[in-house]
Amino acid sequence: MQGCDGFGCKLAGKKVIKEDTGEKEEIKMVFLDGQIMDFADNIEAVKQIKKKIVKTLSGGSLDPEIVIQAADRLAADIMSGRSYMADGEWPAISRDYPPASFAGYFTADSLRKKRRLELPEIPDCPEEGKRFFREPLGVLLHIASGNAAGLPAYSVLEGLLAGNINILKLPSGAGGLSLYILKKLTEYEPRLKEYIYILDTPSGDKRVMEMLMRLAGGIAVCGSDETVRAVRESAPVNVKIIEWGHRLSFAYIADMNVPEVKLEGLARHIFSTNQLLCSSCQVVYLDTDNFEEVKKFGLRFSLVMEREGRRYGNPLFIRGKTAVERLTQKLELAGGTERNGKKGPAERYIYPAGHGSVTCINDSRLELSGQFGHVLVKPLPQKKIFSLYPCKRHLQTAGIYPESASLIKTLARCGLTNLCSLDNMGSFGILSSHDGTFALREYTRITEYKTGSGGGL
């Protein structure tokens, strides 16, 4: 077992030649004791992690202030330009998300506010002789998603703020940003080394995953329905599962006379996030059942999308994907599509919008768009909004116009957890709930102490 030098590398296995047989063998790379280590297999790595965890758990609690101070140093270095990746680039969460904005999530001021919001003090109940206090879950296993750079590291930071030991299972194909962030934290504050472990083990490695789950007091899983279902089926019954499943978001326009500036803000959100985040707009719903009005709006919005999209370049492979999708859509329009088991004319109309598109479809089904600037527009009269209720487990953000109390209340009852103005869908930051709850609250438990007669603490 030996350290791996350099930081720009990803946490990925490497091939070596076995001296005795000449066969190729993959060496597993694990982040342990603040450095990248080589292991013959992940099972041996998990055994070592277990020994260290037992020692850490018996040694007292983690002071959140040392976590905050280390994160604040990282934020300062990011904003000053001293803490970039090895190649001098900083992979942003989106193309409109510069390093300074990303650093804002790590400042001491932001993290202290986050703790006050999500972990408020619990008042004592003296008349019952009771005191309440919070404790971490102990060991938190993070099964991360790779839809946004750096988010796995932020999930670990939340676990640290709640006082947990954290084991991060990186998503397949993850870049080096999360590893970079967490390694930097252990450099700034060496006491964090025993609270952060990272493995790059595939989800299909059932033995290793089961070993990790047995170590955990909680599992924070972020991913598809299939990923969440697999964790539910595999996790021990005495382990808390915190589900951050994939969500869908949309815009809702109840007045066709929406100002141009609102549509411009929505278009920028669509292009800047590539529609890859849970809060990214996939569908624009209109308060109408008239498909001609939908098409009229689709044409208007396509012109806005084309104009705003010029600010954002798409990679070559995305442009190729777009060309294939447009050809497929044209063929469907020419020959009709299968709808409800019957073949008939396709109820859709496509407006090109630069390297994106606006597709009007005459149904109200919430679905994933083509992403990367390809948005759907559909009719959904307000009286039918509750047709979305069966999707409640997958709903997250709705950008609305106009902002009326009745519309906000209706959408909230449907299951939406984040509501905002039409041009503000990407505005939710560190002091925001996460899918209807607070992460730090989910990563802790409440312990109650009741005194005996005449006793006390």
- Break the chain into its structural domains and give their ranges: 28-84+95-244, 248-334+344-421
pLDDT of residue 312: 78
State the pLDDT confidence band at 344, using cuts at 50, 70 and 90.
Answer: very low
Lowest mean pLDDT among 76-90, 280-294, 333-347, 435-449: 333-347
What is d(CA 156, CA 141) in angstroms, rounded to the nearest whole number? Answer: 9
Poorest-confidence range of 99-113, 162-176, 369-383, 421-435? 421-435
Angle between helical axes of 42-57 and 206-215 (0-180°, round to 10): 0
Position 38 scores a pLDDT of: 82
Q: pLDDT higher for 83 or 112?
A: 112
- Structure-block tokens of residue 261: 């500036």
CA 190 to chain centre: 27
> Which neighbouring-strand residues pair with 31?
36, 198
Q: What is the separation, in whole angstroms, between the first and last Cα of the chain?
A: 48
Q: Which fold has domain 248-334+344-421?
A: Aldehyde Dehydrogenase; Chain A, domain 2 (3.40.309)
Residues 214-237: what's their mean pLDDT?
A: 92
Other C-beta atoms closer than 10 Å to the C-beta of 138 total 16
- Apex CA 343: angle with CA 339 and CA 348, to 5°? 55
Candidate from 7-11, 70-74, 400-404 with smallest mean pLDDT = 7-11
Residues 168-193 have a mean pLDDT of 87
| CA distances to 17, 248, 298 from 224, in Å | 37, 11, 30
Mean per-residue pLDDT, 158-181: 87
Half-sphere exposure of 330 (CA within 13 A, CB side): 9
Looking at the DSSP bridge assignments, the partners of residue 252 are 285, 400
* Summary mean pLDDT of the chain: 82
Q: Give residue 175's pLDDT.
A: 56
C-alpha 371/C-alpha 237 separation (Å) is: 37
| Element housing 30 (H / E) | strand 24-32
- pLDDT bin (cut points 50, 70, 90) of residue 59 is confident
Q: How confident is the model at residue 300 (pLDDT cuts 50, 70, 90)?
A: very high
Note whether 185 and 194 are within 8 A (CB).
Answer: no
Q: Give 406's pLDDT tier (boundaries 50, 70, 90).
A: very high
- Please compute the mean of the pLDDT values over residues 345-361 and round it to a whole number: 85
Q: How far apart are CA 50 and CA 62, in angstroms?
A: 18
Question: What are the backbone angles phi and psi of residue 13, rounded to the nearest 5°?
Answer: -65, 155
Give the pLDDT of residue 94: 40
Per the structure block, which two tokens stand in for 292? 């001609």
- Residues of the chain above pLDDT 90, percent: 53
Give residues with Cβ within 8 angstroms of 64, minimum separation 6: 115, 160, 161, 163
CA-CA distance, 131 to 58, in Å (whole number)? Answer: 23
Whether 35 and 3 have beta carbons less than 8 Å apart is answered as yes
Q: Where are the alpha helices (DSSP H) in 249-370?
A: 260-273, 291-309, 316-335
Q: Can you tell me the distance from the alpha carbon of 45 to that of 74, in angstroms, rounded to the nearest whole number?
A: 28
Please give the CATH topology (third level) of the domain spanning 28-84+95-244.
Aldehyde Dehydrogenase; Chain A, domain 1 (3.40.605)
Q: Which residue has the higher pLDDT, 342 or 235?
A: 235
- The pLDDT score that the predictor gives to residue 436 is 80
Q: Hey, what amino acid is at 20?
A: D
Is the pLDDT at 48 greater than 60, yes or no?
Answer: yes
Backbone φ and ψ for 57, nearest 5 degrees, come out as: -60, -30
Average pLDDT over residues 403-428: 89
Q: How far apart are CA 437 and CA 444, in angstroms?
A: 13
Handedness of CA 157, 158, 159, 160 (dihedral sign): positive
- Segment (H or E) for 403: none
Dihedral sign of CA atoms 198, 201, 204, 206 in order: negative
CA–CA distance, 21 with 12 (Å, rounded to integer):
23
Give the position of tokens 């750079």.
149
Predicted confidence at residue 328, as pLDDT, reads 52
In terms of pTM, does the model score above 0.75?
Answer: yes
Q: How confident is the model at residue 393 (pLDDT cuts 50, 70, 90)?
A: confident
Between 43 and 285, residue with greater pLDDT: 285
Per-residue pLDDT at 25? 45
The alpha carbon dihedral of 147, 192, 10, 93 has a sign of positive
User: What pLDDT does residue 457 have?
Assistant: 54
Q: Which residue type does 71 have?
A: A
For 30, phi and psi rounded to 5 degrees? -130, 140
Q: Spell out the residues 6+ positions from residue 135 whose beta carbon is closer than 8 angstroms to its own.
A: 163, 444, 445, 446, 447
Torsion of CA 294, 298, 299, 305, to 10 degrees: 160
Bridge partners, residue 284, by sequence: 251, 377
Per-residue model confidence (pLDDT) at position 331: 46
pLDDT grade for 311, boundaries at 50, 70 and 90: confident
